[in-house]
């Protein structure tokens, strides 16, 4: 590979990394039924709500257990 090719590849990679770092995207997984997937991009900073909870329902030996955890 010539010096020109190495410089061109390095420069293109740097510019691509800079462009991708400016895009603010969010992707949330689909619901358990697979109908709702949430994704999108914004020109505003993404804010995280510190008070969100994740609720999980489990069945342990015939008893329903609800687990509350903070979303991180």
Domain hosting 65: range is: 3-70
Q: Where are the beta strands (DSSP E) in the chain?
A: 24-28, 38-42, 53-60, 63-70
pLDDT of residue 4: 93
Domain count, the chain: 1
Task: Measure the CA–CA gap between 71 and 53, rounded to whole angstroms.
Answer: 6
Per-residue pLDDT at 15 exceeds 90: yes
Give residue-wise pLDDT tens across range 20-56: 777 777 767 776 766 666 677 766 665 656 667 788 8
pLDDT of residue 51: 65
Q: Which of 28, 19, 21 is nearest to 52 (CA)?
A: 28
What is the average pLDDT across 2-17? 92
Contact 57, 65 (CB under 8 A): yes
Q: How confident is the model at residue 69 (pLDDT cuts 50, 70, 90)?
A: confident
């Amino acid at each position: 590979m010539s010096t020109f090719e190495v410089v061109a590849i390095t420069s293109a990679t740097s510019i691509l990394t800079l462009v991708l770092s400016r895009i603010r995207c969010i992707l949330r997984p689909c619901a358990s039924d697979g109908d709702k997937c949430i994704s999108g991009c914004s020109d505003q900073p993404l804010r995280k709500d510190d008070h969100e909870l994740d609720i999980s329902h489990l069945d342990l030996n015939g008893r329903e257990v609800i687990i509350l955890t903070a979303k991180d």
